[in-house]
Amino acid sequence: MTAFEYAPAPESRSVVEIKSSYGLFIGGEFVEPTDGAMFKSINPATEEVLAEVAEAGPADVDRAVRAARTAYEKVWGPMPGRERAKYLFRIARIIQERSRELAVLESLDNGKPIRESRDVDLPLVAAHFFYYAGWADKLAYAGFGPPGRPGAEPRPLGVAGQVIPWNFPLLMLAWKIAPALATGNTVVLKPAETTPLSALVFAEICQQADLPPGVVNIVTGAGATGRALVEHGDVDKVAFTGSTEVGRQIARSVAGTRKKLTLELGGKAANIVFDDAPIDQAVEGIVNGIFFNQGHVCCAGSRLLVQESVYEPVLEALKRRMTRLRVGDPLDKNTDIGAINSASQLERIRTLSAIGAQEGAEPWSPPCQLPDRGFWFAPTIFTGVSQAHRIAREEIFGPVLSVLTFRTPAEAVEKANNTPYGLSAGIWTDKGSRILWMADRLRAGVVWANTFNKFDPTSPFGGYKESGYGREGGRHGLEAYLDV
Ligand code: NDP
């Protein structure tokens, strides 16, 4: 039953001016791609074309790496940390000033609700630049200096080749670029094919901040562009976030070279609810864990483990809460769940959900009317899921939750760890001692207690096993960009 209908509350689209076409950002300016190839970026909520974007081929990638090398050797590498910090602070402030525009752009290109791009993505993007700006002149004290020379600066690596996914386009850019620049490296970054626009506006922000040419280069394109970048012989460091499959390919191509590598890959996190947890709070955490950003989150709580004794009340409360979720226009400030990022991702979610039903699990979704155009998937939970089911093992990367049960803490640990991944986990309980006992045993890079999907630039993030290696964020995030 709905107490009242919501009136539409759209954020204004006019705060962002999208150009009809974007070139590659190389050496501080926008340039045409060598062979003139272009591709289109669309709004996944309407399938409307937003802009044409240049597709970088190997010659363009080479040009970008050379620009980054020159900037590294002539300007950015030799520049004192306190000077680099000024540029990073300036970028952070411009991001804050332009945050409304960037939030609208991100929602248009990605499909995520404006509430999230405005209140989560953009504040975190600015926070990452502020945080790493603060480190730029303190690297000698970060604990990575040359042995036996306290107070000496650790050296940067050189040119970083960075490839990012489409789920948090600008935030993943910030996670990659802020620590790289703070430590004195220059970068060539490839955004995802479906979400290049905020990275291109970030390039304009680099111009606005007077960042020396070549320190940041943005090469747009598809998987082949990313591949040309990570395989380029003059790249010193590769940082990748995306699927485990592509991560594996990259690890193979980098093996045997001098390149340093960090991989942030998939996940299949367990969100574990004990019988002493405050149920309403836990239900909010379950919803945030799997429906935040349409479930396009590597650390999403996609496996719910509920203690058997509270299974019924938790499920009932969860279903009740799900009937209140509003799916629709990402630019509407009341929207909870926006559009699926692409037709191919929608296809993947549909396929895995159909397999879940075929394997005997039972799907449930609240009644909700999906828009006619664009890519949409109703929030869905599967009950009767066993650990062997594919929906309990594979990353669906969509608003689909698999519900399993357990009886004892030991069983919860065993089930939570029974996955090839190890990125994150959540624990809901009233007992602090149980949180510590569980956190010690869960094989996950991040363990949230009585909360979920909380991010902070000071906190390291990364995985075990097939979730990748290396840490981003915090002091640990500096190490990946230093010669230590
Ligand atoms: P990918 O891993 O293919 O994409 C991530 C980034 O890598 C994109 O920029 C992509 O370019 C680029 N890329 C693709 N192939 C190569 C290559 N051979 N060498 C270098 N870079 C490459 O993820 P998808 O977007 O295809 O998503 C597929 C699945 O991956 C999802 O369903 C989800 O399960 C998982 N995924 C996990 C993420 C995570 O953070 N854990 C993030 C994204 C996806 P392009 O955009 O052009 O393909």
- Residues 414-428, mean pLDDT to the nearest whole number: 97
Say yes or no to pLDDT of 2 above 70. no
Among 194, 246, 419, name the best residue to mutate to test ligand 1's pocket (greatest count of ligand atoms within 8 A of Cβ). Answer: 246
pLDDT score recorded for residue 23: 98
105 near 53, Cβ under 8 Å? no
Nearest CA to ligand 1 atom 14: 223
What average pLDDT does the structure give for the chain?
Answer: 96
**C-alpha to C-alpha distance for 194 and 341, rounded to whole angstroms:** 8
- Write the pLDDT tens digit of every residue in 68-103: 999 999 999 999 999 999 999 999 999 999 999 999
Query: Which atom number of ligand 1 is nearest to the Cα of residue 265?
Result: 41
381 pLDDT band (50/70/90 cuts)?
very high
Give residue 462 CA to ligand 1 midpoint distance, Å: 17
Q: What pTM was computed for the model?
A: 0.97
Report CA(34)–ligand 1 centroid distance (Å): 24
User: Catalytic positions, please?
Assistant: 264, 298
| pLDDT number for residue 158 | 98
The pLDDT of residue 454 is above 70: yes
Dist CA 311 CA 275 (whole Å): 9
Q: Residue 35: which residues within 8 A CB-CB, separation 6 or more? A: 57, 59
Pick the residue whose CA is nearest to atom 29 on ligand 1. Answer: 243
Q: What is the pLDDT of residue 390?
A: 98
Give the C-alpha separation, 176 to 435, whole Å: 31
In the chain, % of residues over pLDDT 70: 99
Least trusted range by pLDDT, from 4-18, 71-85, 345-359, 389-403: 4-18
Percentage with pLDDT > 90 across the chain:
96
Ligand 1 center–CA 383 separation, angstroms = 29
**Pocket probe mutation, ligand 1, options 39, 53, 163, max atoms within 8 Å of Cβ:** 163
Please report which confidence band the pLDDT of residue 333 belongs to, taking 50, 70 and 90 as the band edges: very high
- Give how far Cα 147 sits from Cα of 51, 180, 230, 405, Å: 50, 22, 30, 50
Please give the pLDDT value at position 143: 87
Question: What number does the ligand 1 atom closest to the CA of 221 have?
Answer: 47
Q: Calculate how far, in angstroms, residue 191's C-alpha sits from the geometric centre of ligand 1.
A: 10
Report CA(60)–ligand 1 centroid distance (Å): 21
The answer to whether residue 265 scores a pLDDT higher than 80 is yes
pLDDT band with cut points at 50, 70 and 90 for residue 149: confident
| Closest atom of ligand 1 to CA, residue 398 | 32
For the chain, give the secondary structure using H, E and C: CCCCCCCCCECCHHHCCCCCEECEEECCEEECCCCCCEEEEECCCCCCEEEEEECCCHHHHHHHHHHHHHHHHHHHCCCCHHHHHHHHHHHHHHHHHCHHHHHHHHHHHHCCCHHHHHHHHHHHHHHHHHHHHHHCCCHHHCCCCCCCCCCCCCEECCEEEEECCCCCHHHHHHHHHHHHHHCCCEEEEECCCCCCHHHHHHHHHHHHCCCCCCCEEECCCCHHHHHHHHCCCCCCEEEEECCHHHHHHHHHHHCCCCCEEEEECCCCCEEEECCCCCHHHHHHHHHHHHHHHHHCCCCCCCEEEEEHHHHHHHHHHHHHHHCCCCECCCCECCCCECCCCCHHHHHHHHHHHHHHHHCCCEEECCCCCCCCCCCCCCCEEEECCCCCCHHHHCCCCCCEEEEEEECCHHHHHHHHHCCCCCCEEEEECCCHHHHHHHHHHCCCCEEEECCCCCCCCCCCECCCHHHEECCECCCHHHHCCEEC
The pair of structure tokens assigned to 454 is 């909380």
Atom of ligand 1 nearest to the CA of 250: 19
How high is the pLDDT of residue 337? Answer: 98
Banded model confidence at residue 4, pLDDT cuts 50, 70, 90: confident
Residues with CB under 6 A from ligand 1: 163-167, 190, 192-193, 222-223, 226-227, 230, 241-243, 246, 249-250, 265-266, 298, 345, 348, 395, 397
| pLDDT band at residue 377 using 50, 70 and 90 as cut-offs | very high
| Ligand 1, atom 42: closest residue by C-alpha | 242
Q: Whose CA is nearest to atom 18 of ligand 1?
A: 227
The Å distance, Cα 153 to ligand 1 centre, comes to 35
Q: Which residues contact 105 (CB under 8 A, 6 or more apart)?
A: 16, 18, 197, 198, 201
Q: Give the nearest ligand 1 atom to 245 CA.
A: 2
- Ligand 1 pocket, mutate which of 243, 290, 347 (most atoms under 8 A from CB): 243
Of 66, 71, 81, 92, nearest in space to 208 by CA: 92
Atom of ligand 1 nearest to the CA of 247: 2
CA of 246 relative to ligand 1 center, distance in Å: 6
Q: What b/e sequence results for 18-31 when a residue is b if at least 16 CB atoms lie within 10 Å of its CB, and e otherwise?
A: beeebbbbbbbebb
Digit-coded pLDDT (tens) for 198-232: 999 999 999 999 999 999 999 999 999 999 999 99
Specify the residue with its C-alpha closest to ligand 1, atom 16.
223
Confidence of residue 1 (pLDDT cuts 50, 70, 90): low
Nearest CA to ligand 1 atom 21: 226
> In the structure, what pLDDT confidence band is assigned to residue 172 with cuts at 50, 70 and 90?
very high
Q: Whose CA is nearest to atom 22 of ligand 1?
A: 223
pLDDT tens by residue, 275-315: 999 999 999 999 999 999 999 999 999 999 999 999 999 99
Q: Judge whether residue 118 has pLDDT over 80.
A: yes
What number of other Cβ atoms are within 10 A of residue 407's Cβ? 10
Residue 255 tokens read as 């093996």
**Phi and psi dihedrals of 33, rounded to 5?**
-70, 150
β-bridge partners, 187: 160, 216
Ligand 1 centroid from CA 151, angstroms:
40
In this prediction, residue 146 carries a pLDDT of: 74
Taking CA atoms only, the protein residue closest to ligand 1 atom 38 is: 242
Tens digit of pLDDT for each residue in 239-259?
A: 999 999 999 999 999 999 999
Strands 380-383 and 362-364, bridge-based pairing: antiparallel
Atom of ligand 1 nearest to the CA of 166: 43
From the CA of 111, how far away is ligand 1's center (Å)?
Answer: 17
The confidence score (pLDDT) of residue 155 equals 94
